[in-house]
Amino acid sequence: MSIATNESPTMPVLPRVRGSIRTKIHGQRAAAANSESVVRGAARCEGHGHKGLHNKVVLARLGPITLVNFGLITAVGGALAAWLGLARLHQAGLAPERYATLMFISIPLLAVIGSRIFSLALDWRAFLDSPVRELSKPAFAFHGGFIGATAAVVGISWYADISLLMLLDAMALAFPLGHAIGRLACHTYGCCHGRPTKLPLAIRYTNPESKAIRLSGMGGVPLHPTQLYSAFGNFALFLVLTAIALGDVRVGQLSATFLILGSTGRFLTEFIRGEPVSKRFGLTPFQWVAIGLFTCGLATAYVASGNAAHAAFADFTLLAESLRYSSGTIYPLLVAVVIFVSFGIHGRQVGTFGSAALAERDASNATED
């Protein structure tokens, strides 16, 4: 049985369907061409029409590959944290030469894997709907990386038969500094941005390749520079922990302080962050994780209260010698390479591992579905 139109009683609707298909195909081609045009236009105006560090998304374009400043800056932060963390381990007499290779390979790798898994889990419905499309996006989440890195430290503690709390204390003296620099990377990429505000500190994203515009649609809107708030907060935490370490501390006290203060800062910052995210009982997933970390911090503080006090991190002369030791190793560079390769390389279009046409086609298909 055929269904006829008014114009032709015997003509089936197949030609009209074909026309619809052709229209869709032409629309996708036009959209893809427009996306390619956006990329070329962004490349021409990179460094010219967009003021401020927060609009400097692209580091370089090499044919079908785009290098982003996010990868470079996070690599610097990771290298600095590795350099200082290794020195603190050496300063405390924890003989890092026995396990440093395993540690500074496993920590960045598990951090990258954990952050990727956590990001996919946050939007699991989209992943189940289109796994290929979601996997083609270079998306990561800090808390997943933190959990992965912590798992690596736990494994090192077991492997090297070293006090877990002493390892965590040494890492706590280094991590906030690297994290502070990492938040500057978020500032350039447009992720982790804030809500609209009228404060004089507000920033405006104008680069179309910024995540604040691509995914949040906040182009030209004055926003809280939440990435800078986090950067300053982490640097302040680094100074606080360094000051505490100058005196006698109990084993686990530094890591407990890090967990309590760091999670509190993240919990509060979430109230003025502006990225679209689902909530449960009025709180974002990151706030729930922060509550979990805060609880872990309280538990660690309770355990630390029964531990003996020590001054392993107090001697600055020994720290200077340990920094020279750390500078003579390849581990900070190794961490930097792993992080840059993982976070700094995109496809022709920022925000995807594929081409601009592929990204636009996926977005079109997602809309049609």
- C-alpha span between 51 and 5 (Å, rounded): 57
Residue 143, SS3 per DSSP: helix
Q: Give me the DSSP letters along 161-230.
A: T--HHHHHHHHHTTHHHHHHHHHHHHHHHTTT-B-B--STT-B-B--TTSHHHHTT--BT--B--HHHHH
Residues 6+ apart with CB under 8 A from 320: none
Assigned domain for 25 exists: no
Assigned domain for 6 exists: no
Q: What is the pLDDT of residues 12-60, one digit of tens each?
A: 333 444 444 444 444 444 444 444 444 444 444 454 557 788 889 999 9
Assigned domain for 267 exists: yes
Burial class (CB in 10 A: 0-12, 13-18, 19+), 363: middle
pTM for the full predicted model: 0.81
**Is there a contact between 148 and 111 (Cβ–Cβ < 8 Å)?**
yes
The H or E element containing residue 101 is helix 100-122
Structural domains counted in the chain: 1
Assigned domain for 37 exists: no
Q: What is the pLDDT of residues 176-216, one digit of tens each?
A: 999 999 999 999 999 999 999 999 999 999 999 999 998 88
Q: What is the pLDDT of residues 101-133, one digit of tens each?
A: 999 999 999 999 999 998 888 887 777 887 887
- C-alpha span between 184 and 216 (Å, rounded): 19
- C-alpha span between 266 and 196 (Å, rounded): 19
- C-alpha span between 193 and 213 (Å, rounded): 10
The whole domain housing 156 covers 61-368
Task: Answer yes or no: is pLDDT of 135 > 90.
Answer: no
Assigned domain for 46 exists: no
Assigned domain for 315 exists: yes
Assigned domain for 223 exists: yes
